[in-house]
Chain A
Amino acid sequence: MVSALHIITAALAAAFLLGLLKEQQRGLAYGITLLTLALMSWISAGWLWTFASTGTAAVEIFTAGTEPPFAINLRIGLAEAALTLLINLVGLLSALALKDTLLALGRRAMAVWLVAVMALSGIVLTRDLFNLFVFFELTVIASAGLVLLSEHAKNDGQALAAGFKYLIVSQFISAFLLIGIIFAYHATGTLNIDDMAAAAPLLGGGAAQAFALAFFLIFIAVVAELKPFPANGWALDIYESAHPAFSALFSAATGAAALFAVDKLLLIGGDAWLPMATGIGIVTFVAANLLALPQTNDRRLLGYSSIAQTGLILAVLGQRDILGEHTLYIAGGLLLSHAIAKAGLYWLSGLIAERGLEAWAALRGQPLLIFAFVSFISMLSGLPPFPGFYAKWELIHLLAGEGRIVLLGLILFGALLEAGYLFRWFGYIMKREAPTEVVDNVAHKFGAVFATLAALAAAWALSLVWGELAGLQFDRFNMLLALPLLFALAFLLLDWLPVWVKNSLAIAGLLAWFYLTYTEYDPLRMIFAVIFLIGGSLTLLASYHEHGRRIGFYPSAMLMFAGLAMLIRATDSFDFFVAWELLTVGSYFLILRGKHSEPHALSYILFSLGGAFLILAGFALATQGAPYFDLAALADLVQPLAPWVFLLLAIGFMTKTAAIGLHIWLPGAHAEAETDVSPMVSGILLKAGLYGLIVLLLTMGRQDFYGVELINAMLWIGALTALIGNLLAIFQEDAKRLLAYSSIGQMGYAMFGLALMNHLGWLMALMFVINHYVYKSMLFLSVGGVAKRTGTRQMYRMGGLITLMPLSFIATLIGIIAVSGVPPLSGFGGRWIFYNAILTAEARLPMILIFLAGPIAFLYLFRLIYTIFLGQLKDEFRRVKEAPFWIVLPQMIYVAILLVVAVVPGLVLRHVDAYLNHFFPNGGLIWEGTTITSQFGYWNPVAIMIIVGVIFMTLFAWLLFVNRRAQKVKQFNIVFSAERPFRPETTHFAWNFFAPYRKALGFLTLPLVTLFWSTMTDLLHTAGDLARRFYTGNGQTYAFHLLAFVVIVYLFGMGVRP
Chain B
Amino acid sequence: MSFDWMKIPYALLTVFIVFNYGLLLGAFIQKIGARAGRRYGIPVWQNYVDLIKNYGQRTSITHGVMFYLGPVFRLTGGIGLLLFVPTIYGSYMFSNLSFAGDLILALYFVFFGTLGMALGAGESGHPHAAIGITRGLSQVSVAELPFALAVFAVALQYQTLSVTDIVAAQQGGVLNWTLFTNPLAVAAAMLAFLGSMMRPPFDVVIAPQEIPIGPPTEYHSAYLALMQTNRAIFPVAKMVIYMNLFFGGATSWPEFAVKVFLLYLFSAFVGVCFPRFRVEQSIRWFLIWAVPLGVQAILWV
How far does the alpha carbon of A844 sit from the alpha carbon of B152 in the complex, in Å?
A: 10
| Contact code string A850-886 (vs B, CB < 8 Å = 1, else 0) | 0110111011001101100011100000000000000
CB interface residues, A 929-985, toward B, < 8 Å: 929-931, 934, 936-940, 943-944, 947-948, 951-952, 955-956, 959, 962-963, 965-969, 971-977
- Which one of B64, B83, B160 contacts A802 once the chains associate, using CB atoms below 8 Å? B64
What is the distance, in angstroms, from A864's C-beta to the closest C-beta of chain B? 11
- Nearest B residue to A866, CB-CB: B122
Name the segment of B24-32, B35-43, B219-227, B251-259 touching the other chain: B219-227
Q: Which residue of A lies closest to B147 (CB)?
A: A851
Q: Is A458 an interface residue (CB 8 A)?
A: no
Residues of A within 8 A of B72 (CB): 952, 955-956, 959
Report whether over half of chain B's contact residues are helix, strand or loop; otherwise say mixed. Answer: helix
CA of A836 to CA of B162 in the docked complex: distance in angstroms? 11
Partner of B118, one of A836, A838, A866: A866
How far is A855 from B73 in the complex, measured between Cα atoms in Å?
A: 19
| B-side contacts of A948, CB under 8 Å | 76, 80, 112
Given contacts A962-B222, A987-B125, contact A968 B212 (CB under 8 A): no
Q: Give how many A-B residue pairs fall within 8 Å (CB-CB).
A: 246
Task: Give chain A residues whose Cβ lies under 8 Å from the Cβ of B138.
Answer: 859, 994, 996-997, 1000
List the one stretch of B169-177, B178-186, B266-274, B276-284 in contact with chain A: B276-284
B112 to A823, Cβ gap below 8 A? yes
* A999 contacts chain B at the CB level, 8 A cutoff: yes
CB distance from B50 to the nearest CB of A (A): 15
CB-CB under 8 A for A939 and B101, given A948-B76, A959-B72: yes
CA distance A989 to B218 in the complex (A): 15
With contact pairs A936-B160, A967-B62 given, residues A870 and B100 touching in the complex (Cβ less than 8 Å): no
Q: Does B123 contact A (CB under 8 A)?
A: yes
Contacts of A848 in B (CB 8 A): 145, 149, 291, 294-295, 298
A828 cross-chain contacts in B, Cβ below 8 A? 105, 108
Residue B126, interface by CB 8 Å: yes
Q: Which of A816, A828, A929 has the most CB of B within 10 A?
A: A828
The reply on B211 being an interface residue by CB < 8 A is yes
Q: How far is B55's CA from A832's CA once the two chains are assembled, in angstroms?
A: 38
Given contacts A937-B103, A959-B68, contact A1001 B161 (CB under 8 A): no
Residues of A within 8 A of B152 (CB): 835, 838-839, 844, 847, 851
**Distance (whole angstroms) from the CB of B273 to the closest CB of chain A:** 23
Q: Mark B102-122, 1 if CB is under 8 A from A, else 0.
A: 111100110110010011001
B280 touches A855 (CB 8 A): no
Judged by a CB distance under 8 angstroms, whether A269 is at the interface is no
In this complex, the member of A822, A929, A940, A977 whose beta carbon has the largest number of chain B beta carbons within 10 angstroms is: A822
Of B63, B83, B144, B279, the residue contacting A947 (CB under 8 A) is: B83
Q: Are A975 and B217 in contact (CB under 8 A)?
A: yes
Which chain B positions have C-beta within 8 A of A939?
100-102, 104-105
B291 touches A822 (CB 8 A): no
B6 within 8 A of A: no
Q: How far is the CA of A959 from the CA of B278 in the complex (A)?
A: 35
B131 x A947 contact (CB < 8 A): no
Which of B109, B135, B149, B222 interacts with A823 by CB under 8 Å?
B109
In the complex, A181 has a CB within 8 A of chain B: no
Minimum CB–CB distance from B68 to chain A (whole Å) comes to 7
Q: Name the B residues within 8 Å of A968 (CB-CB).
A: 61-64
Given A955-B72, A959-B68, A996 contacting B100 (CB threshold 8 A)? no
Q: Give Cα distance in the complex from A816 to B159, angstroms.
A: 31
Residue A821 at the B interface, CB < 8 A?
A: yes
Asked if A817 is at the interface (CB within 8 A of a chain B CB), the reply is yes
Q: In the assembled complex, which residues on chain B have CB atoms less than 8 Å from the CB atom of A856?
A: 141
Kindly state whether residue B243 has any CB partner on chain A within 8 Å.
no
Interface of chain A residues 818 through 853 with chain B (CB within 8 A):
820-823, 828, 831-832, 835-836, 838-839, 844-845, 847-848, 851-852
* Bound Cα distance from A816 to B122, whole angstroms: 15
Residues on B with beta carbons closer than 8 Å to the beta carbon of A938: 101-102, 162
A929 touches B100 (CB 8 A): no
Contact (A851, B145) CB under 8 Å given A963-B60, A1000-B284: yes
Known contacts A968-B64, A996-B135; A871/B105 CB under 8 A: no
Minimum distance in angstroms from A983 CB to a CB of chain B: 12
Interface residues of A in 684-742 (CB under 8 A from B): none
The docked-state distance in angstroms from the alpha carbon of A997 to that of B133 is: 13
B28: shortest Cβ distance to chain A, in Å?
Answer: 26
Q: Which of B68, B111, B218, B299 contacts A974 (CB 8 A)?
A: B218
The B199-241 residues at the A interface (CB cut-off 8 A) are 211-212, 217-218, 221-223, 225-226
Q: What is the CB-to-nearest-CB distance from A838 to chain B, in angstroms, rounded to a whole number?
A: 7
Contact with B along A224-239 (1 / 0, CB 8 A): 0000000000000000
Residues of B within 8 A of A72 (CB): none
Verify if A915 is at the interface (C-beta below 8 Å from B). Answer: no
**Bound: A966/B80 CA distance, A:** 26
Is B122 touching A947 in the complex (CB atoms < 8 A)? no
Say whether, besides A802-B66, A859-B141, A976 and B105 are in contact (CB < 8 Å).
Answer: no
| Contact assessment for A870 and B75 in the assembled complex, using a CB-CB cutoff below 8 Å | no
Which of chain A's residues have a CB closer than 8 A to the CB of B162?
936-938
B contact residues around A835 at 8 Å (CB):
104, 152, 155, 161
Name the one of A820, A971, A975, A993 contacting B115, with C-beta atoms under 8 angstroms.
A820
- In contact, A839 and B155 (Cβ under 8 angstroms): yes
Contact A832 B69 (CB under 8 A): no
Per the 8 Å Cβ criterion, residues 775-829 of A in contact with B are: 800, 802-803, 813, 816-817, 820-823, 828
Q: Does B97 contact A (CB under 8 A)?
A: yes
Contact status A1000-B76, CB under 8 Å:
no
> Do the beta carbons of A802 and B279 come within 8 Å of each other?
no
Contact A862 B100 (CB under 8 A): no
Q: Which of A866, A987, A997 contacts B280 (CB 8 A)?
A: A997
Contact (Cβ within 8 A) B71 A959? yes
How far is B276's CA from A753's CA once the two chains are assembled, in angstroms? 39
CB–CB B283/A1000 < 8 A: yes
Q: How far is the CA of A947 from the CA of B77 in the complex (A)?
A: 11
Asked whether A851 lies within 8 Å of B149 as measured between CB atoms, the reply is yes
Chain B contacts of A600 at CB under 8 A? none
Contacts of B137 in A (CB 8 A): 855, 858-859, 862, 994
A988 at the interface (CB under 8 A from B): yes
Cβ of B115: which chain A residues have Cβ within 8 Å of it? 816-817, 820, 822, 858, 862
Known: A823-B112, A963-B68, A1000-B283. 5 other contacts (CB 8 A): A802-B123, A838-B152, A939-B104, A948-B80, A1000-B138
Question: A residues engaging B (CB < 8 A)?
Answer: 800, 802-803, 813, 816-817, 820-823, 828, 831-832, 835-836, 838-839, 844-845, 847-848, 851-852, 854-856, 858-859, 862-863, 865-866, 870-872, 929-931, 934, 936-940, 943-944, 947-948, 951-952, 955-956, 959, 962-963, 965-969, 971-977, 987-990, 993-997, 999-1001
Chain B residues near A (Cβ < 8 Å): 1, 55, 58, 60-66, 68-69, 71-73, 75-76, 79-80, 83-84, 97, 99-105, 108-109, 111-112, 115, 118-119, 122-127, 130-131, 133-135, 137-138, 140-142, 144-145, 148-149, 152, 155-156, 159-162, 211-212, 217-218, 221-223, 225-226, 278-281, 283-284, 291, 294-295, 298-299
Cross-chain pairs A/B with CB under 8 angstroms, 11 sampled: A802-B66, A816-B115, A839-B159, A844-B152, A855-B144, A871-B127, A939-B102, A947-B83, A955-B76, A966-B61, A989-B134
8 smallest CB-CB distances across A and B, nearest first, come from A937-B161, A937-B102, A870-B122, A996-B279, A855-B141, A1000-B283, A1000-B280, A939-B101
